[in-house]
Every structure is written in C-alpha cells, then in structure tokens.
Structure 1
Amino acid sequence: MPAEQPTILATSGGYRAGDRTRIEFAPLVHHAVELAGVSGRAPRICHVATAIGDQRSWNADFAEAADLAGYQVRHLNLFPMPPTDDLRGFVLECDAVWVQGGSVANLLALWRLHGVDEVLREAWQSGVVLAGVSAGSICWHKGGPTDSFGPELRLIDNGLGLLPFDNGVHYDSEARRRPLVHAGVASGELGRTYCTDDGAGLLYHGTELVEALAERKNSGAYLVERDADGKVVETTLDIRRL
C-alpha cells in the first residue's frame, strides 16, 4: 500500500544502541515505515547504504534491527554491482526506502551512474516513502553542507532536488555546520534551508514541509533564510516529540 501522497522524512537520526543487537531502530525509522500505511503484512524496507560503500557489516546490523522490528528488508547494493537488472521493480515493490548516511557526494554520483536517481523519483511519485539520515536527508534536497570531501565542510548543490530547499544536518552536534549554513544563505549559495539537530526529522508531503519531528527530548529543527533586507534569519520550528 503506497502512501497517499509523495512523502519524504529527512532526518539526523533513526538509530539507537540495541540491547541484543548493535543497533535498534529509533522512533524516526518506525515513523517512516508507519507513513506507508501498511497493514496485514510485514512492511518492506529498501535499505540503501551507497554513502558508506555498501558495507556488508552495516547491512547485517540493519537487517538485525529490521528483523527485531518485524520488517522485511532488502539491500540496494551497488557494489560490486546492482542486485538486479530491474531496479525499478526492486524499489517500487517496497513500502519505504531508508538511505544511510556517509558521503552524499559519492552517493549522488553513483546513483546517477546507475539510474537510481530516476528510480527514486518515480518511487516518490508513486507513494513509496523516502527517508534517511544525514546524507540520506541532504540527498532529497537541492544541497547543503557536507564532509564528503574531507574534514573541512563544503557546500554541494547537486542534490536530487525533489525538495526545492537546502538542508543542514547534525546541526547541534558538529560545530562547523551552523556557521556554514548561515554563510551559505548570506552569500546566496544556499537558499531556504531546513536544518535538524541529531534526533530530529523533517516530514514533507509533496514539496511542502508539514511538520518537524524528534525522537529525543532536546532535538530541534530550524529554518534559515534571508529576509527582505538580506539579513540571515534563523527560526526555530515547532516540533512534535515522537
């Protein structure tokens, strides 16, 4: 069952340490799956870990967490080759896509090389919930700060652009990100930019932000933009605690 409308949950969270497994799904992952509206069977998640090179150890950790949650998972690995000639069917048969963090620059390059970008666009339009953390948040937007190229953050502007905004992640936990967002908005390199602290997420229906969500009690979400006088303004968004 697809979501009723194109849906994206872009986050800086989704995981916590497990009791018997290395990770468990935190509320943001569960909410992404709930948005798909599945009933009567186990939800199917397409896990995409391109941004960390499809590490098999991480795939195993994710699969354990999915099994614990009662979800079916399939991994869209691009290393050493895609899992099928029918990537469209592989993704559209799933209820939700969860994109792992890592290098958003590498992720975007490889997705475009293999046509994953167009598959995900069709999936979004068809009601498959698109979600993810960090690189898996920035990718749906126009761009934002990334450490893909080294310890010094740089701005990218070649995101998929499903959402006509820029995006900042790890806004509270990495001190260099907020200043770069503000500088990018001031210079015009970034436009309207939505940002999340660790543990927060942004829910979009179509291209409209409908609410900010958090799985931690102190996590926030923010809008950074230029006002009519060209001044950079940061607004704290109302947030719903999951």
Structure 2
Amino acid sequence: MPASSPTILATSAGYRPHPRLRFGFGPMMAFAVELSREASCTGQPAGDHRDRAPRICHIGTASGDDRSFQRDMEEAAREAGYELHHLSLFSMPNVEDVESYLRGFDVIWVNGGSVVNLLAVWRAHGLPEILHRLWQDGVVLAGVSAGSICWFEGGVTDSFGPQLAPVTNGLGFLPGANGVHMDTEERRRPLIRELVADGTLGPTVCTDDGAGLLYRGTELAEAVTEVDGARATRITRDGSGGVVEQEIPVRLLP
C-alpha cells in the first residue's frame, strides 16, 4: 500500500545491536513500515495489508551489493517479521523489469556506502526516474547514510577518499543538502558549515546517529529518533557570509 503522500525518511539510523545477529532492525525501520500503512493516495484504507508481513526492498548499490550484508539484512528482517528482498545491480540487475519489481514493496530501503558510486550506477540504469515515479505514487523511500544523502541535492562524503568532500549531484528529490553521522564523525560539521557559507551547498539538514528526517512531499514534516538524545539540525547561510545552525525538534520513537 502506498503512503498518503510522497514520503521520504532520510536517516542516520535503522540498525540496532542484536544479541545473536550482526544487527537487528530498530524503531526507525518500524516507523518506515508504519508510514507505508497509511491511507493510500486514492483514499483506499490501508488496513488491507495488515494481514501480511510488510514487504521491504533493500537496495545496496552503495556497498556494491555485498552478498554477506544482504544475508544479514534477511536475518534481521526475519527476526522483525518483515519480508525483505533485494534489488541488485551488480553485475547486472537481478530482475528484468526493475520498476514493476519495486512497485511490489511497501518500503524501499537504501543502505549506506559510497553515495558517489550509488548515484553513478543508478543513473546508468535509469533508477532516478523510476524512483521518482514510485515516490510520487506513494511508495515509501528510506535509507541510511548514503541512502539518506542521495535524495537531496548534495552533502559531504568520503566516497572519494579518507578526506571528506562535497557531492553536489544528488537526485534532488528534496531541496538543499543533507549531513549524516554528525555526532560521531567530527569532521562533518565544520566542513558542512564551510560549504554552506561559501555557497557550495544549500541549506543543509543534518542528523546525529539514531535520528531521521521525515519528508512529506518536499517539506520537512518532523525529525524523529530511535536513540534518546540524538539531534537534528539545520545549517543555513546568513547575510554576512557566515552560517546559522538551528536545532530541529526531535520526537523519540516508541
């Protein structure tokens, strides 16, 4: 079932420690699933898919469709009661009709890694246009790290090497730029402030680890977190060539 409006959940979150598995899914993934259970764009009640497991498609392009990570995702989904499959693009797409395949899912979850490589490979396969249509039709788009930055116009990345650098050719579904892992990677905040100040990046919304940003259409609806104390911030250019950093209220997910 589609969400009630075009929906993107852009996060620095989604995976939690698990006593037996490499990781488990936490409240952020549950929130993405809940968003997909809303009334559809046509007004049809969403309850008719509560009698089956939520269907999630994991896209791991940014990490090269790593097979071991895909298996870990499947284990985490099994434990959480989700049905999870993958769209792989290496060494060729694993399905014949990518758009039809993706339309069969409630949530599309994009994993982290190299956002630069993700964007290049997606463009080679026509994914931006497909994902844009799915987004407009109410399929929930979500992801972590590179899977968060990709929806915006840009951000900062270590895709080019150990030193962070700007990326400015994001998909642009959402306005401005996106910063991730702001509380755990100390180099990100000063670079983002510098890039916003000099105009390389537009207004930038940022998340600490554990936090996420819910967009309805192109408007930020709310910031949420699965980790108590994780913050969301907005960095904008001021009139004197500096920047202003403002906190965004954050709701703790149950």
TM-score of the two chains, using structure 1 as the length reference: 0.98
Give the partner amino acid of 1:35. L
Which residue number in structure 1 is paired with residue 236 of structure 2?
Answer: 225
Which residue number in structure 2 is paired with residue 130 of structure 1?
Answer: 141
Which residue number in structure 1 is paired with residue 31 of structure 2?
Answer: 31
Decide which of 127, 144, 151 is 2:155's aligned counterpart. Answer: 144
Which residue number in structure 2 is paired with residue 213 of structure 1?
Answer: 224
Which residue number in structure 1 is paired with residue 46 of structure 2?
Answer: none
CA distance in 2, matches of 1:91, 1:170: 28
Secondary structure at the aligned position of 1:40 is classed as coil
Question: Contact 2:87/2:95 (CA < 8 Å) preserved in 1?
Answer: no
Give the superposed CA RMSD: 0.9
Secondary structure at the aligned position of 1:82 is classed as coil
Q: How far off its partner does 1:231 sit?
A: 2.8
CA distance in 2, matches of 1:40, 1:206: 28
Decide which of 116, 130, 137 is 1:119's aligned counterpart. Answer: 130
Percent identical pairs in the alignment equals: 57
Q: How far off its partner does 1:229 sit?
A: 3.7
CA distance in 2, matches of 1:67, 1:120: 26
Q: How far off its partner does 1:149 sit?
A: 0.5
Equivalenced residues, count: 242
CA distance in 2, matches of 1:109, 1:57: 23
CA distance in 1, matches of 2:119, 2:179: 17
Q: Which runs of 4+ in 1 moved over 4 A?
A: none
Residues 51-71 of structure 1 deviation map (CA, whole Å, 9 limit, x = unaligned):
000010000000011111111
CA distance in 2, matches of 1:92, 1:139: 20
CA distance in 1, matches of 2:74, 2:181: 25
Secondary structure at the aligned position of 1:35 is classed as helix
Give the partner amino acid of 2:144. V
Which residue number in structure 2 is paired with residue 7 of structure 1?
Answer: 7
2:105 pairs with 1:91: no
Which residue number in structure 1 is paired with residue 42 of structure 2?
Answer: none
Give the partner amino acid of 2:8. I
Residues 149-201 of structure 1 deviation map (CA, whole Å, 9 limit, x = unaligned):
00000001110000012000000100100001100000000111000000000
Alignment map for 1:1-242 (pairs within 5 Å): 1-37=1-37, 38-242=49-253
Give the partner amino acid of 1:9. L
Question: Contact 2:13/2:144 (CA < 8 Å) preserved in 1?
Answer: yes
Question: Unpaired segments of 5 or more residues in structure 1?
Answer: none
Secondary structure at the aligned position of 2:162 is classed as coil
Q: How far off its partner does 1:20 sit?
A: 2.1
